[in-house]
Amino acid sequence: MQLKKGNRYILHILFWLVIYIVYFTQYMYNERSDSARHQFSAYDRSLTVFFHLLAVIAASYFITIRVLPFLFDRKKIIRGIFELCIGIYAIAICSRLSVIYVLEPILGGNFGKQESIPQILGQFSILFKYYIISIVSGALPFIIFYLLIDRQRIMRTQVEIEKEKISARLDALKAQINPHFLFNTLNNIYSLAVQQSAETAPTIDRLSQLLDYLLYRCNDNYVSLDNEIQFLRNYLDLGKMRFGNRLSIQFSHETDRPYTIAPLLLVPVIENMFKHGAEQTTGPAVFSISLKADNNQLTLIAINNFMPGENKVPGIGLSNLKQRLDILFPGRYILRVVERNEIFEVKMQVPLV
């Protein structure tokens, strides 16, 4: 979940408030354990910690915003290291100047003669020992926290992109229902209309239900299994109208309770039966389709006869189905195809919701 801009500011403020409390508590403990140290009041200690924290905050945001992008780019890593050194040195100088010219006068203590700015610029040992090390070490918690949050953001973005890619791929596969089936159905309806057959209106109604389901009712990730079964019935009825008495269809189904299923997951099997069974067979064609849904599992067994030796043209049907199953149920489905004695059998088992 992404934070709103205002919430991010609050999160940053709370983070530094916690760090301030930790620093202040640590400072009090160290002073009590060192009796030789100058005794400050609570106000003095809070100001001292505050000035140090300002330098830590400046270093933290400088490193995360300016330096890290260079360090993560192999071509710019040298520049990143150079800017890191210069930036931290500049922050240390500013911190040293604020302590000498602002903090010490406020505290009103006798801390000796103030150094000039040129002297401060040349105090490498003091800057490194008392400022740079403490500033960088103080910035590390924020940098680690930032990297963890950024890592989560990147992972979340990658997951969203992957979901979008999978969704787009599923939509493309789902849209690959054989279009010639619709054209053949329209031709048959035309023939019925010319003959003024009583089957014209019911056939148009089945086709309209089929198109309504394809265009509008299967856009969700899951649809009712009952609706999917009704779609198969309409599909089979339209196919039988085309082949007439030459095609015999036995379609049985049973469910132990209502389920949902990925839309158009079953139709590639039925479409394959028409393409390589009824269309390629000159004699009688027989379809046997058994569908059973129980214990959160769907089992579909589809059997049709075919002509041996026919030159099958690879289509998108079963390969399309396997691609969708690999995406939806990786390692959790069964798709078995068997050819024997002029019989083609497809068995599919998938989990149900």
Q: Which residue has the higher pLDDT, 226 or 43?
A: 226
CA 64 to chain centre: 26
Other C-beta atoms lying within 10 Å of the C-beta of residue 328: 18
Domain segments of the chain as ranges: 5-170, 206-351
- In tens, the pLDDT along 281-293 reads 788 999 999 999 9
- In tens, the pLDDT along 141-195 reads 889 988 888 888 878 777 776 666 666 555 655 555 556 567 767 877 887 788 8
Pick among 3.30.565.10, 3.30.420.40, 3.55.50.30, 3.30.1120.130: CATH of 206-351: 3.30.565.10
- CA dist 75 and 56 (Å) reads 28
- CA dist 330 and 94 (Å) reads 58
- CA dist 16 and 19 (Å) reads 5
C-beta of residue 225 within 8 angstroms of C-beta of residue 188: no
Q: Give the mean model confidence (pLDDT) for residues 49-69.
A: 91
Q: Give the mean model confidence (pLDDT) for residues 55-70.
A: 92
- CA dist 319 and 325 (Å) reads 10
- In tens, the pLDDT along 288-323 reads 999 999 999 999 999 998 877 654 544 457 887 888
Query: Which pair of tokens denotes residue 236?
Result: 């089979």
Q: Output the pTM of the full model.
A: 0.55
Distances (CA, A) of 118 to 93, 95, 97: 11, 15, 11
